Amino acid sequence: MLYVRLVHLFGMSLWIGGAVATFVVARVIAGWSIEERMRALPLLAKLHALVIAPGAIATVVSGVLITMSMVNRGMSEAMARPGIVVMQAAGILAAILVVFVGVPTANRLAVRATMTRGGEPHPVVSALRRRQAIVSSIAGVLALIALFFAVVVR
């Protein structure tokens, strides 16, 4: 289980680190021209697909494996601690948001990152960016709640 715990912590690092990197890139490109911002959208999609989502999946899969192993070893009571229950619930919910909304939205944004003949971004871009900002913020806060409860509350 030592290596599964390692995967749990590594996945969490990828996930939260990737989310912070994406947030910083999004803040930086907010000051760029619209054409330059459109060119950066595929980069944000890659960060979602190659760093954030694999981190979220690794965290949840390893978390479920650690839970099953501890229950099988008769440690069910330890799994009922509030810190652990909140970590599991917040982590699973955040991962669902990342994988089923965050990644597809980032991919759609990358595909739609083109300008119309009138020099405007594709009409769906602003709605997709709003959705991405809301979902990423909720998932990020849930991941930080999971970390806080895992370490501080336990």
Question: Rule CB under 6 A: which residues touch ligand HEM?
Answer: 5, 8, 12, 59-60, 63-64, 66-67, 70, 78, 84, 87-88, 91-92, 94, 143, 146-147, 150-151
> Least separation, in Å, of the C-beta of 144 and ligand HEM?
8
Closest CA to 91 of 69, 70, 62, 68: 62
Long-range contact pairs involving 125-129 (C-beta distance under 8 Å, separation at least 24): 125/38
Closer residue to ligand HEM (CB): 41 or 84: 84
Length of the chain counted residue by residue: 154
- Within 8 A by CB and 6+ apart from 104, the residues are none
115 in helix, strand or coil?
strand
In the complex, residue closest to ligand HEM by CB: 63
How crowded is the C-beta side of 153, counted as CA atoms within 13 Å? 16
Alpha-carbon gap, residue 46 to 82, rounded angstroms: 35
Closer residue to ligand HEM (CB): 44 or 87: 87
> Least separation, in Å, of the C-beta of 5 and ligand HEM?
5
> Least separation, in Å, of the C-beta of 96 and ligand HEM?
10
Closer residue to ligand HEM (CB): 29 or 64: 64
Closer residue to ligand HEM (CB): 5 or 122: 5
